[in-house]
Structure 1
Amino acid sequence: MDLLTVSHELETLSKERLKKMYIGNGAHEPVFGCATGAMKPLSKQIKKNQPLAEELYATGNYDLMYFAGVIADAEAMTEADFDRWMNQAYFYMLSDFVVAVTLSESPIAQSVADKWIASGEELRVSAGYSCYCWLLGRLKDDQFDTEKLSLLLDEVAKGIHAAPERAKASMNNFVYTVGLSYKPLHDRALKIANEIGEVTVLRGKKKPQILDAYASIQKEVERGRVGFKRRYVRC
């Protein structure tokens, strides 16, 4: 299957309502408005295809870029490849839900995420913390360095309220995810979430989003979901 065929298939699945929603969240033309769930049959046909993924991602079309992440061979991608994808990720739905998700299935995920977090660049910081969220929600606890995660929690506690808007959201989600999915630091994440308190994320013309990791973790405790792990990340 080639670029033109995939583009045609996804365009036929597009919905004007979804296109408006994607644009409202920061996407710009070209964009079709295809539901991610509707992509599954096509992705099952193609499976992993890195050359095609690279072609799709380079188009700048949001839907094709998203689908590129679905069929990408993360293990074949280098640090330079992920940096190049991040350079083209112009808003958070690409940085956090395409690039970070794809990175999370790579053996170099944590080292690249660490570098992006240290960069101080809004979308890279956001993608770095988002990558950790995807990793923590899937991998066994023994695949992480507890001390490093604890230091990241400290960094979030110190800097979240002054961080760029999108980074705030991902940093808050990181604290929540540690509290939910990483048992060795559950209590510490809960303590830090309580210290942080509510986090206000400005969203342009939209109503500000109020996040509360402490309350969210407590809800998961009540549901008995602490230690939750998912089987898959990508659709």
Structure 2
Amino acid sequence: MQVEQVLSRLHELADPRAVAVWARMNVSPERYIGVNLTKLKQLAKEIKKNHPLALELWATAIHDAKLLATMIEDPRKVTEGQIDLQIAQVYSPDLCDKFCTNVVAKTPLLLSKIGQWAQHPEEMYKRGGYTLIATLARSDTLTEDAFFAAYLPAIEAEIATERNWVREAMNYTLIAIGSRTSDLNQAAAAVAQRIGPITIDYGDTSCKNPDALTSLTSRAL
């Protein structure tokens, strides 16, 4: 499938209501067509992994195409140069999350990018760093507890004053870390209790962030 064909399919799948939702969240990605994630995933399955096409779709600057690019990207062919170029072009929380979970987390560069991004001054880089930590916490069973515990002091010290989308990522990361083992659960729950409730600005929508303490104390590990 050629890039022009994919873009035509995206326009066919577009839903103007999705654009309105992002507008209410005060996040209006440039040239957002309005294709929901379910339809994007279905299209990605049809296309299958395609590194050259993923690069072309990312280069279009159409938000939906960039999201799709992360879904069809072949992580085995992704270079560090590509990762560094693309993270610099990320401008929204959803694109940041999909880029990190679909692409970066599936490369051997995962740990090095956590190290580079978790204290980065730019909002999307730092969100990306914490998104990668959360992804690793949920999916990897070999990493020692100490690796994840090392990020709890930074979350506790910074989350209240962090920028909106970093704060959201830290909140989810705290929950992910505390959901790994009983020891991490106790440590993360203690941090959540000291932090108190965290509010994320989702604009004029009904979206709400999960309460970390409730999440960490309502499940058995």
Same fold, TM-score > 0.5, yes or no? yes
Letter in 2 for 1:16: P
* 1:165 corresponding residue in structure 2: 164
Matching of residue 122 in structure 1 with residue 107 in structure 2: no
Give 1:118 deviation, angstroms.
2.0
SS of the residue corresponding to residue 150 of structure 2 reads helix
Q: Distance in 2 between matches of 1:75 and 1:66?
A: 18
How far off is 1:124 after superposition? 0.8
What CA distance in whole angstroms lies between the structure 1 residues aligned with 2:95 and 2:137? 20
Identity value in percent: 25
Check 1:20–1:207 CA distance in 2 against 1; reply closer, same or farther (3 A cut). closer
| CA shift in 2, pair 1:119/1:74, >3 Å | same
CA distance in 1, matches of 2:206, 2:70: 30
Structure 2 unpaired stretches of 5+: none
1:59 aligns with 2:60: yes
Distance 1:135 1:101, change over 3 A: farther
Taking only aligned residues, the RMSD between alpha carbons, in angstroms, comes to 2.1
Per-residue deviation, residues 167-211 of structure 1 (Å, max 9, x unmatched): 111111111111123455222111111111111233456689565
Offset, 1:21: 1.6
CA contact (8 A) 1:198 1:210 kept: no
Distance 1:33 1:154, change over 3 A: same
Give the partner amino acid of 2:171: N
- 1:183/1:50 CA distance change after superposition, 3 Å: farther
How many residue pairs are counted as aligned between the two chains?
Answer: 220
Kindly indicate whether the alpha-carbon contact (under 8 Å) linking 1:104 and 1:132 is maintained by their aligned counterparts in 2. no
- For 1:212 and 1:27, the matched residues in 2 are separated by 26
Secondary structure (helix, strand or coil) at the match of 2:119 reads helix
**What secondary structure, in the 3-state scheme, does the structure 1 residue paired with 2:199 have?**
strand
How far is the alpha carbon of 1:112 from its aligned partner? 0.6
**Aligned residue number for residue 233 of structure 1:** none
**Could you list the runs of 5+ residues in structure 1 that have no partner in the other structure?**
227-235
Per-residue CA distance 1:88-118 (angstroms, 9 max, x = gap): 1111111123344421111211211221112
TM normalised by structure 2 equals 0.90
Contact 2:100 2:131 survives alignment (8 Å) = no
Q: What is the distance in 1 between the residues matched to 2:168 and 2:116?
A: 19
Displaced runs of 4 or more, over 4 A:
203-211
More strand by share: 1
Is the Cα contact below 8 Å between 1:27 and 1:62 reproduced in 2? no
Q: Is the 8 A contact 2:24 2:205 kept in 1?
A: no
Larger displacement relative to structure 2 (35-44 or 102-111): 35-44
Q: Displacement of 1:161 after TM fit?
A: 1.0
How big is each residue's C-alpha offset from its partner over 1:4-59, in whole Å with a ceiling of 9 and x where there is no partner?
A: 01111111011111122234341333111111111233222321111110110111
